[in-house]
Amino acid sequence: MRARQVKSLPEVAGSGDESPGQSGAARDGGEAADALDAALRAEQKYVTRVYARLDTEREAAEATLRSGPGRGGGGGFQAAVEREVAAEEAARALARLSGVERALVFGRIDHRADGDAAGDTFYVGRIGLRDEHREPLLIDWRAAAARPFYTATAGSPGTLVRRRHLHLRDREVARLDDEVFDLEGMSEDDRSTIVGEAALLATLRRGRTGRMGDVVATIQEEQDQVIRDGLQGVLVVQGGPGTGKTVAALHRAAYLLYTHRDVLERRGVLIVGPNATFLRYIEQVLPGLGETDVALATVGELYPGVRATETESPEVAVVKGGLRMADVVEAAVRDRQRVPDGDLEIEVEDMTLRVGHDECVRARDRARALRAPHNVQRRAYAHALLDALALDRAEQYDRITDEPLEDIAASGGVPAWLQELMDEAEESPLLDEENLRLAKAELWQTPAVRGAIDALWPELTPEAFLDELFADPERLRSAGEALTEAEREALRRPAGSPWTVSDVPLLDEAAEWLGEDDPAERARLRKARREREAEELYAREVIESTGVADLEIVDAAALAERHHDDGPALTTAQRAAADREWAYGHVIVDEAQELSEMAWRAVMRRVPTRSLTVVGDIAQTGSPAGARSWGEMLDRYVPGRRREQRLMVNYRTPAAIMRVAADVLAAVAPGEVPPEPVRDDGPPPAAVRIGPAELPARLPELVRAELAPIGDETGAGKLAVITSGAAREGVRAALPDVAAGTAPEALDAPAVVLTTTESKGLEFDSVIVVDPSGIVAGAPRGGQDLYVAITRATRRLTVVHDGDLPEMLSALG
Ligand SMILES: Nc1ncnc2c1ncn2[C@@H]1O[C@H](COP(=O)(O)OP(=O)(O)OP(=O)(O)O)[C@@H](O)[C@H]1O
């Protein structure tokens, strides 16, 4: 049973009193109303003060920005940097202060009195603010002092005597919810971690807007543990649908950046999510949480320069996602490092230059022995062959000039002085160092030589390499020994085919083996990186020495960048996203169950410190190349070193829908326990039988009927029609006016048609699932897809079917 200790004022009489610790003794209605008024007035006064402070700070930042860094003003580089620091600080402060207008203050905690001394009271909000005397006015939700607001439970309230939720409408205090902790006699129930229930349920009842809500005011204890877990190592967050995994992961990103800013501001945080729609869905939340330096990417975007969105058939996805592809890529790279079958022979200016087969093999082996990627090893191979070719040419020249003399010598007519010269020449090397260098350079410019070396050991981009591999059955056969004939056949496709999501980890793998293809570009990047680091160090020193060291709002890296190239300042996230070899300070993977083994390799490469948060639900794995267990994917990277947190409370799906979902879960993942729903509202889910022929007439009707109550209740509801792949075209034809797919506008539309894959991670007030049997039959993990589809609803679920309902939905029959 859940302990219900939350009362909305005015039920909690006396809690309007400023003195903490009073519990709700019964009073008559008049007194309670007075208490509520007094409480609201007192809180309004405080909230007004906090907003006034926000305005003052905003104006100050604006004024600094208006005066600008100033172009002139002398004072040398140091002064120029100082002015930039001030402007930079002001710009960042302004961005920070502007993003928090809504619900700036949302909580208050009262600590127990200590002897005669009154207990401390703190207000908790989206950022920290101090008054004009530098006294704390508002505590940042991520600060240690705010922690009890999230962690206190009836069972373990710590030193708290009261927690209060403040609900603001614009800048007005609209409602208060109090929780008065009774220190005696309240047993701790597992589910009593759902604290602030009234505040929570109010948040949950809000209509969906197509954007993930900001739930910073109602973070729950089990989520708080996830958010504030340490930075080091791998944290796995396993939880059923709607348990707030994404919410917790986003708040964790904000929390980590706040708490470990020193490490993370320069290295950044990467969030990997399932699809572009999903990332769009969450990206507005991050600035709201006070952070902008977080890079978001799908797996299809992990390799700079490619944005893959197309997926493959399950068979191809399984092959491309499997670890054996790492061997295939390695073997295919080695296949591009050839020696000629016999001797290497090249026609140059009427002369046949020759390098013996054995020498070619030695050159290749020496190049391969270098611990360097293919394109770098190629240079060693080319040098060795050029050496041999230059020598061969010199010998041939030598023979030509020597021949007439040798003829004379053979006839015994060589004068002594000439014999001496010939002996000397015999002993001295044919080419000195300088001549060798010149000869090699010249040969390198000769098309026949360059062509021969390119053919043996070509310089390769990952794109060209993979394209050629998949287009050439011979290459696939040679490199794909680890695969079956059918698997190799599955990989085949015409040259120039568009990149798919499962190609991206392979491009990344290939890039590791091949290395940068342009040494000059690589050197330029290295030099630029070194210079920027020096600038950053300098900017940091200036920031510290000038005393504007409220460092959380000054980014030395961005400042140095601006100084460095005078171009637009790039954020850490932007720089990181453009650099394949960027090492992030922390990586968060959401819907992580979908990542293939090859995708995990690409992710792990981006975080050599193995500081990761892995968020997902094994029972929702839809991708045939995705995870069956966390150990299967992660153990090889962090053997025995991962922590696991489970989220067990479902904040999204009402109990009646969850009962149906539980049957599906039992069928597809018998070991998994469905999360317990918090909500018990909304109508029972329904099944409607509609044949394909009737869809055009009846589906629009159903959509209209579903949208009407949503609109009436909140005015901002959302509906999704989630369909099987097989029924998709029919559904779209039946709903020509309804948005479809993952285009950005679709999120803002009142209704949208999606496939199960597209609906991953999203939620809607009302969901119509079309063709459940088709969903189950349409993919190797179709049952999991159905589980995902029916758990997207926050209020209403209708299942449209033609034949019999699948067995696992029999509760709807
Ligand atoms: N503490 C909370 N207070 C208010 N709302 C919450 C809280 N935690 C989660 N929610 C809400 O519950 C819903 C589900 O959260 P979220 O999308 O993070 O779940 P999830 O575990 O990622 O789900 P899925 O696995 O199905 O994608 C969201 O609307 C979120 O705002």
Check pocket membership of 207 for ligand 1, CB cut-off 6 A: no
In angstroms, the first-to-last Cα distance of the chain is: 30
Distance 213 CA to ligand 1 centre (A): 9
Q: CB-based contacts of 45: which residues, under 8 Å, 6+ apart?
A: none
| Mutation choice for ligand 1 from 214, 676, 763, CB with most ligand atoms inside 8 A | 763
Closest atom of ligand 1 to CA, residue 244: 18
Edge-to-edge strand list for the sheet holding 642-647: 294-298, 269-273, 586-589, 612-616, 234-239, 642-647
Cα–Cα distance measured from residue 735 to residue 230, given in angstroms and rounded to the nearest whole number: 48
Distance 121 CA to ligand 1 centre (A): 29
Check pocket membership of 213 for ligand 1, CB cut-off 6 A: yes
Cα–Cα distance measured from residue 251 to residue 276, given in angstroms and rounded to the nearest whole number: 20
Cα-based distances in Å from 792 to 100, 155, 727: 29, 33, 19
**pTM higher than 0.80:** no
pLDDT, tens only, 312-338: 888 999 999 999 999 999 999 999 999
pLDDT surpassing 80 at residue 409? no
Check residue 188 and report its DSSP letter: P
243 is in an annotated binding site: yes
Question: Which residue type does 405 have?
Answer: L
pLDDT, tens only, 583-639: 999 999 999 999 999 999 999 999 999 999 999 999 888 888 999 899 999 999 998
Query: Which residue did the predictor score with more confidence, 492 or 538?
Result: 492
Closest atom of ligand 1 to CA, residue 792: 26
- Can you tell me whether residue 258 is helix, strand or coil? helix
pLDDT at site 790: 94
Average pLDDT over residues 555-561: 50
Check pocket membership of 763 for ligand 1, CB cut-off 6 A: yes
pLDDT at site 290: 59
pLDDT surpassing 90 at residue 547? no
203 is in an annotated binding site: no
For 695, other C-beta atoms within 10 Å of its C-beta total 21
Closest atom of ligand 1 to CA, residue 249: 18
Q: CB-based contacts of 169: which residues, under 8 Å, 6+ apart?
A: none
Cα–Cα distance measured from residue 667 to residue 661, given in angstroms and rounded to the nearest whole number: 10
242 is in an annotated binding site: yes
- Is residue 492 within 8 A of residue 473, CB to CB? The reply is yes
Cα–Cα distance measured from residue 344 to residue 391, given in angstroms and rounded to the nearest whole number: 14
Question: Which residue type does 10 have?
Answer: P
Cα–Cα distance measured from residue 739 to residue 732, given in angstroms and rounded to the nearest whole number: 9
Check pocket membership of 505 for ligand 1, CB cut-off 6 A: no
pLDDT surpassing 90 at residue 389? yes
Closest atom of ligand 1 to CA, residue 239: 21
pLDDT at site 198: 55
DSSP annotation string for 494-519: -TTPPPBTTHHHHHHHHHHHH--S-H
Question: Which residue type does 803 have?
Answer: G
Cα–Cα distance measured from residue 571 to residue 573, given in angstroms and rounded to the nearest whole number: 5
- Can you tell me whether residue 159 is helix, strand or coil? coil
pLDDT, tens only, 452-486: 999 999 999 999 999 999 999 999 999 999 999 99
Please list the residues that pair with 689 across neighbouring strands.
Answer: 801
Distance 244 CA to ligand 1 centre (A): 3
Closest atom of ligand 1 to CA, residue 208: 29
pLDDT at site 66: 78
pLDDT at site 568: 45
pLDDT, tens only, 33-82: 676 788 889 999 999 999 999 999 999 888 887 776 554 455 666 676 67
Mean pLDDT lowest among 38-47, 262-271, 594-603, 702-711: 702-711
Cα-based distances in Å from 550 to 123, 261, 439: 21, 12, 61
pLDDT, tens only, 124-142: 998 999 999 999 999 999 8
Check residue 108 and report its DSSP letter: E
pLDDT surpassing 90 at residue 120? no
Distance 243 CA to ligand 1 centre (A): 5
Cα-based distances in Å from 612 to 267, 491, 639, 642, 707: 13, 32, 14, 10, 40
- Is residue 727 within 8 A of residue 771, CB to CB? The reply is yes
pLDDT at site 791: 94
- Can you tell me whether residue 344 is helix, strand or coil? strand
Average pLDDT over residues 195-208: 55
Query: Which residue did the predictor score with more confidence, 37 or 765?
Result: 765
Edge-to-edge strand list for the sheet holding 719-723: 686-689, 793-801, 764-770, 719-723, 751-755, 739-740
The closest residue, in CA terms, to atom 3 on ligand 1 is 218
pLDDT surpassing 90 at residue 645? yes
CA 16 to chain CA centroid, nearest Å: 44
pLDDT band at 14 (very low <50, low <70, confident <90, very high): very low
Question: Which residue type does 755 have?
Answer: T
Cα–Cα distance measured from residue 646 to residue 222, given in angstroms and rounded to the nearest whole number: 8
- Is residue 542 within 8 A of residue 88, CB to CB? The reply is no
pLDDT, tens only, 157-168: 888 888 888 889
pLDDT surpassing 50 at residue 27? no
The closest residue, in CA terms, to atom 24 on ligand 1 is 241
CA angle at 133 for the pair 127 and 134, rounded to the nearest 5°: 35
Q: Residue 325: is it exposed, middle or buried by C-beta count within 10 angstroms (0-12/13-18/19+)? A: buried
Average pLDDT over residues 438-457: 93
Please list the residues that pair with 589 across neighbouring strands.
Answer: 272, 614
pLDDT surpassing 90 at residue 561? no
pLDDT at site 189: 36
CA atoms within 13 A on the CB side of 682: 29
Q: Rounded mean pLDDT of the chain?
A: 81
* Nearest Cα to Cα of residue 813 among 692, 685, 623, 691: 685
Check residue 219 and report its DSSP letter: -
How many H-runs (helices) and E-runs (strands) does the chain carry?
Answer: 32, 23
Check pocket membership of 275 for ligand 1, CB cut-off 6 A: no
Helix (H) or strand (E) holding 616: strand 612-616
Q: Residue 332: is it exposed, middle or buried by C-beta count within 10 angstroms (0-12/13-18/19+)? A: buried
Q: CB-based contacts of 561: which residues, under 8 Å, 6+ apart?
A: 532, 535, 569, 570, 575
241 is in an annotated binding site: yes
547 is in an annotated binding site: no
